[in-house]
């Protein structure tokens, strides 16, 4: 892999993504890794990321000069560039002069990094210190008003660096600079493609699983579907998928999994109708956390029942169920400590959080991938687009979108309103623009309306369209008024108990995306 050394700012993930966009596989490692630990990963190249610090700050992350003697191509970016200059005997000055945002640099020598880019170009900078003298053996490629040395390279030792952030789109030729480093500086080929990812993962899954049996909890979402499709491709009928229908699903979801997913993958699927179990357990409860806990608990019980039955029937066929498929993604791995050490099942996982005492070994074929890469792999595997491009839907489902007690009748009402909103948003071509649009039923609120000749006394629903990158923060989406009007008219006409449609115009924070 290309290793991206994370100096603690938010840039490392972005750099890793840009390297992958150049079709070269990358992994993030913490800056606390020693040179031996890095070399143990047999890196094809190393990129030192930006960071928040000055190389002179107390406790500033340090770069071991031995890294530059290992014969591995290295590129330093921003903080990484300065740390590299300092480690190799260049001069980094504390100027106190900050360059921040769009900054023009002047190219004095194109070298490898800047070949084919304009003599004056806009870059995105964010730094206080500046490199005043390049280390011996380095050629200066560019300067800016605040950075006498804004880029340098030593081709014979394959060491490169830029003061700016090539991974940020505001750097006009950033991706070109990164690609020059990867292809020309480090001699790498752009061969990391969805097809190759699938071939590698299929081989890895076969090696891990052997001829044992595997189960997978399917939620209908992107991650568990693509993970299941990969495992299916690798070990075929050794895999059984379990889909728990808890009755809190949206219209058409069971059918979508049953029809589209099975058609596309040929996977063994067990659908468990557990609607009664969940309704009974939820009866009388209105507190959001209580409802979430009940749903989580019942989900686990239902899954355990299913697993037990599969183990029993597989027992007769002579196979042991040893493995559980999880759709863990790379950001989860990075956030829980760089992927070193044991895997843990996250409680926020989209199947609702399976217990870790389930006594299965985990198969996690997506743990090196970002979400958009999972989608590309899914499309390549033939997973239907309706599943690959599905918007997020919470494990507890409609249960946390009915404010008040969950009943079968209220679920029907909300399901109908939600189906109309989704249909109209799809028709308006807005599905990829919005992150998701929960529809929330205020089941304990009533308001007066007039319809036909009569007075109504019904419930409001709330539309909650949000735009987001990662659901950590979100803004409310400015939907076109005519789309809102159509949704409102249709819901109040077609859904018996609803006589009012309202719009949630709150960002996150302070609100969360879901109402409970
Ligand atoms: P909040 O409401 O916390 O939601 O702003 C952030 C994102 O997470 C989804 N969400 C869940 N997903 N299990 C899930 O798999 C859950 O319990 C859960 N709760 C919220 C929510 O839909 C949004 O995309």
181 and 213 part of one domain: no
From CA 375, how far away is CA 381, in angstroms rounded?
Answer: 10
- What's the CATH code of the domain at 362? 3.40.50.620
Query: 509 preceded by cis ω (within 30°)?
Result: yes
Residue 67 lies in a domain: yes
- Under the banding of pLDDT at 50, 70 and 90, the label for residue 95 is confident
Kindly give the interhelix angle for 408-427 and 481-494, rounded to the nearest 10 degrees: 150
pLDDT computed for residue 340 by the predictor: 40
Tell me what the mean pLDDT of segment 66-72 comes to: 97
- Under the banding of pLDDT at 50, 70 and 90, the label for residue 343 is very low
Is the Cβ atom of 217 under 6 angstroms away from ligand 1?
A: no
Q: Is 58 exposed, middle or buried (0-12, 13-18, 19+ CB in 10 A)?
A: exposed
- Under the banding of pLDDT at 50, 70 and 90, the label for residue 177 is very high
329 and 421 part of one domain: no
223 and 258 part of one domain: yes
Kindly tell me if the per-residue pLDDT of 465 is higher than 80.
yes
pLDDT computed for residue 354 by the predictor: 65
Kindly tell me if the per-residue pLDDT of 98 is higher than 90.
no
Q: Report how far apart the first and last C-alpha atoms of the chain are (Å, whole number).
A: 42
User: Could you list the residue range(s) of the whole structural domain that residue 441 is in?
Assistant: 400-503
Tell me what the mean pLDDT of segment 473-488 comes to: 97
Cα 30 to middle of ligand 1, angstroms: 28
pLDDT computed for residue 348 by the predictor: 41
What is the three-class DSSP state of 64?
Answer: coil
DSSP H or E segment with residue 228: helix 222-235
pLDDT computed for residue 332 by the predictor: 81
Is the Cβ atom of 224 under 6 angstroms away from ligand 1?
A: no
Residue 424 lies in a domain: yes
pLDDT computed for residue 345 by the predictor: 31
315 and 209 part of one domain: yes
How many helices (H) and strands (E) would you count in the chain? 15, 23
Domains in the chain, number: 3
What is the three-class DSSP state of 160?
Answer: strand
Residue 346 lies in a domain: yes
C-alpha pair distances (Å), 508 with each of 174, 275, 511: 31, 32, 5
pLDDT computed for residue 355 by the predictor: 65
pLDDT computed for residue 318 by the predictor: 54
Check 27, 99, 153, 167 and give the catalytic one: 167
- Under the banding of pLDDT at 50, 70 and 90, the label for residue 356 is low
Check 165, 173, 180, 246 and give the catalytic one: 165
454 and 475 part of one domain: yes
pLDDT computed for residue 347 by the predictor: 35
Q: Which two tokens stand for residue 428?
A: 């308006």
78 catalytic? Reply is yes
Range scoring the smallest mean pLDDT among 179-193, 295-309, 489-503: 295-309
Instruction: For 115-140, write each residue's pLDDT tens digit.
Output: 999 999 999 999 989 999 999 999 99
367 and 254 part of one domain: yes
Tell me what the mean pLDDT of segment 373-401 comes to: 95
355 and 414 part of one domain: no
Residue 285 lies in a domain: yes
Residue predicted with more confidence, 311 or 105: 105
Range scoring the smallest mean pLDDT among 41-50, 69-78, 94-103, 457-466: 94-103
- What's the CATH code of the domain at 102? 3.40.50.880
Cα 396 to middle of ligand 1, angstroms: 9
43 and 174 part of one domain: yes
Most informative mutation of 217, 219, 437, 471 for ligand 1 (most atoms within 8 A of CB): 471
Q: Which two tokens stand for residue 55?
A: 């190389």
From CA 5, how far away is CA 27, in angstroms rounded?
Answer: 9
| Closest residue by Cα to residue 265 from 218, 216, 232 | 232
170 catalytic? Reply is no
Kindly tell me if the per-residue pLDDT of 102 is higher than 70.
yes
From CA 423, how far away is CA 417, in angstroms rounded?
Answer: 10
Kindly tell me if the per-residue pLDDT of 351 is higher than 70.
no
Cα 395 to middle of ligand 1, angstroms: 8
Q: What is the per-residue DSSP string for 171-184? A: STTHHHHHHIIIII
From CA 139, how far away is CA 108, in angstroms rounded?
Answer: 10
Domain boundary among 329, 355, 388: 388
Q: 156 a known binding residue? A: no
- What's the CATH code of the domain at 438? 3.30.300.10
Residue 393 lies in a domain: no
Tell me what the mean pLDDT of segment 182-193 comes to: 98
Q: How far does Cα 27 stand from its chain's mean position?
A: 15
What is the three-class DSSP state of 3?
Answer: strand
Domain boundary among 166, 185, 204: 185
| Average predicted confidence (pLDDT) for the chain | 92
Q: 221 a known binding residue? A: yes
215 and 165 part of one domain: no
Domain boundary among 330, 354, 388: 388
Is the Cβ atom of 509 under 6 angstroms away from ligand 1?
A: no
150 and 199 part of one domain: no
95 and 198 part of one domain: no
Residue 512 lies in a domain: no
Residue 511 lies in a domain: no
304 and 331 part of one domain: yes
What is the three-class DSSP state of 230?
Answer: helix
Residue 46 lies in a domain: yes
């Amino acid at each position: 892999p290309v290793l991206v050394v994370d100096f603690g700012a938010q840039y490392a993930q972005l750099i890793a993504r840009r390297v992958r966009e150049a079709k070269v596989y990358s992994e993030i490692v913490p800056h606390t890794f020693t040179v031996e630990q890095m070399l143990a990963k047999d890196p094809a190249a190393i990129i030192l990321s930006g960071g928040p610090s000055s190389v002179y700050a107390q406790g500033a992350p340090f770069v071991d000069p031995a890294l530059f003697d290992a014969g591995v191509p290295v590129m330093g970016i921003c903080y990484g560039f300065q740390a590299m200059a300092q480690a190799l005997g260049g001069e980094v000055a504390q100027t106190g002069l900050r360059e921040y945002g769009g900054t023009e640099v002047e190219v004095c020598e194109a070298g490898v990094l800047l070949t084919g880019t304009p003599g004056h170009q806009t870059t995105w900078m964010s730094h206080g210190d500046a490199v005043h003298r390049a280390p011996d053996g380095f050629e200066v490629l560019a300067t800016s008003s605040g950075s006498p040395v804004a880029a340098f390279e030593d081709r014979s030792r394959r060491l490169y660096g830029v003061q700016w952030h090539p991974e940020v789109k505001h750097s006009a030729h950033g991706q070109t600079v990164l690609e020059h480093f990867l292809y020309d500086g480090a001699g790498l080929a752009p061969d990391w493609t969805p097809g190759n990812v699938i071939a590698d993962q299929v081989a890895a899954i076969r090696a891990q699983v052997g001829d044992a049996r595997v189960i997978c909890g399917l939620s209908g979402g992107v991650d568990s579907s693509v993970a299941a499709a990969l495992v299916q491709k690798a070990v075929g009928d050794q895999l059984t998928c379990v889909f728990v229908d808890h009755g809190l699903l949206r219209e058409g979801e069971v059918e979508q999994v049953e029809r589209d997913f099975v058609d596309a993958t040929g996977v063994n699927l067990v659908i468990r109708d557990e609607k009664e179990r969940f309704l009974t357990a939820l009866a009388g409860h209105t507190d959001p956390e209580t409802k979430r806990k009940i749903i989580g608990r019942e989900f686990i019980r239902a899954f355990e029942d299913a697993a037990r039955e599969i183990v029993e029937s597989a027992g007769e066929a002579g196979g042991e169920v040893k493995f559980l498929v999880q759709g863990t993604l790379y950001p989860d791995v990075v956030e829980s400590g760089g992927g070193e050490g044991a895997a843990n099942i996250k409680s926020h996982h989209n199947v609702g959080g399976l217990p870790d005492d389930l006594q299965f070994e985990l198969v996690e074929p997506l743990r090196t991938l970002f979400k958009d890469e999972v989608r590309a792999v899914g499309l390549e595997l033939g997973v239907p687009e309706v599943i690959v491009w599905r918007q997020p839907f919470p494990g507890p489902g409609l249960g946390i979108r009915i404010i008040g007690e969950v009943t079968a009748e209220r679920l029907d009402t909300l399901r109908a309103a939600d189906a109309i909103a989704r249909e109209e948003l799809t028709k308006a071509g807005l599905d990829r623009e919005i992150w998701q649009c929960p529809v929330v039923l205020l089941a304990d609120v009533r308001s007066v309306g007039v319809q036909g000749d009569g007075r109504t006394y019904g419930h409001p629903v709330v539309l909650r369209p949000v735009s987001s990158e990662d659901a950590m923060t979100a803004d409310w989406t400015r939907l076109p008024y005519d789309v809102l009007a159509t949704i409102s008219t249709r819901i109040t006409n077609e859904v018996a108990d609803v006589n009012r449609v309202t719009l949630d115009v709150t960002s996150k924070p302070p609100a969360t995306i879901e109402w409970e």
